[in-house]
Chains A and B, each alone.
Chain A
């Protein structure tokens, strides 16, 4: 039981990382990774939303949508998940605005954009596809969020270093960022095959 959960967690964080293996959630990955502290903030917020999404969507799927245990309404899967994610993001936004106003302003437009972060919907859909039970789903959601946070922090660290590097003119800005992301993905490919999902 515990070994299985650890496998799911490590798999979501490193081996099948959402950003670098599935290429999900690239928008915030490139958009908010220019500064270390705001990338930590968006990573935390995404992790929270992912964990909560797993917590809420699993019962919704299991009791209402699932063909076996629910009411057999599989066509509602996407829209129900999106409703849950959107309301969670709204909640996170209110929470941050109240208790961390500086983080709220630093994240700016990227905070409501978590709603359309495909990594979160992808996580919910994978959770269903792989037929995880409740605890496994929550661990999977948390692991996916941790993986996202890890990668965005690594990227922000690299980009802060890049500012002082002699980058050739044509590669300045977005191109060098994309090349860095590609190399990072290659490095993470080294984990491939250790655990099969």
Chain B
């Protein structure tokens, strides 16, 4: 008797919950576009947010609906764009893009401090007081960018400032947004090399000299010595207008030595 009763009880419990689930499934079914899944496969699926959407999935949905362009994925680069266009069955445009990498525009030989700091160890918190760093524009070195980077492409160098490792950088732009001092910028890499000014200090030359031994003092030598149009002087700070093979860092002989060349080693 107990045997039949238990079979009946368990059986009917199973059947009833099965029916309830089947009915609710038909009511609550979500139609998945197979295209979304396919595009998601082509994306790096790291949810970095460089495209401006919440996740790779959200971006894939919009691309599948045709509401977003295929070239928004910075980490994936041209290869991903090509894959997405192929999945969607569109034409491949032959336009070649100049690759970019992030560069920290502060590369001091030595950072000079006027006081110690023992507060919360993030750049955004330390930026409120300046953390005792004399230069108001310099890298604080607590590594907010390091924490934001999903690719381990940032290291803190021997002087305590952050530095991007160009061969690991995918130009997703997360570090650019994470830096409270806005000293990380995207730079064009022609043939895997880029010249940049390792300073963001817009104070006058003599004031820059007081806070850092290797800051840009806006002497203008680089504008004179380098090919025309490659350097510009703005707000007492030199800036590389367009980079490439034509700039020879050795030839410029920057008096404070704050012009650097970043070379991307071949990815392997």
Contacts and interface: CB of A to CB of B under 8 A. Distances in A.
A171 interface: no
A91 interface: yes
B120 A91 contact: no
B186 to A, nearest CB: 28
B65 interface: no
Interface in A78-97: 79-80, 83-84, 87, 90-91, 94-95, 97
A73 B24 contact: no
A172 interface: no
B54 interface: yes
Interface string B140-180: 00000000000000000000000000000000000000000
Contacts of A95: 24, 28
Contacts of B268: none
A76 to B, nearest CB: 6
B125 interface: yes
B13 A105 contact: no
Interface on chain A toward B: helix, strand, loop, or mixed SS?
Answer: helix
Contacts of B122: 164
A98 B28 contact: yes
A105 B57 CA distance: 10
Nearest to A164: B120
B128 interface: no
A91 B20 contact: yes
For the residues of B in contact with A, the DSSP-based class is: helix
Contact of A94 (B6, B18, B24): B24
Interface in B21-38: 21, 24-25, 28-30
B55 interface: yes
A18 B128 CA distance: 42
A71 B24 contact: no
A105 B58 CA distance: 11
Given A164-B125, A166-B121, A87 B9 contact: no
Contacts of A76: 6, 9-10
A84 to B, nearest CB: 7
B44 interface: no
Interface of A: 60, 64-65, 71-73, 75-76, 79-80, 83-84, 87, 90-91, 94-95, 97-98, 101-102, 105, 164, 166
Nearest to A165: B120
Contacts of B6: 73, 75-76
B55 A73 contact: no
24 contacts: A71-B5, A72-B2, A73-B6, A73-B9, A76-B6, A76-B9, A79-B10, A80-B13, A83-B10, A83-B13, A83-B17, A87-B18, A91-B20, A91-B21, A94-B21, A94-B24, A95-B28, A97-B28, A97-B30, A98-B30, A102-B54, A105-B55, A164-B120, A164-B125
Interface string B30-59: 100000000000000000000000110100
B227 interface: no
A105 B25 CA distance: 18
A60 B2 CA distance: 16
Given A72-B2, A94-B24, A101-B30, 7 more contacts: A65-B9, A73-B9, A76-B9, A80-B10, A80-B13, A87-B17, A164-B120
Contacts of B125: 164
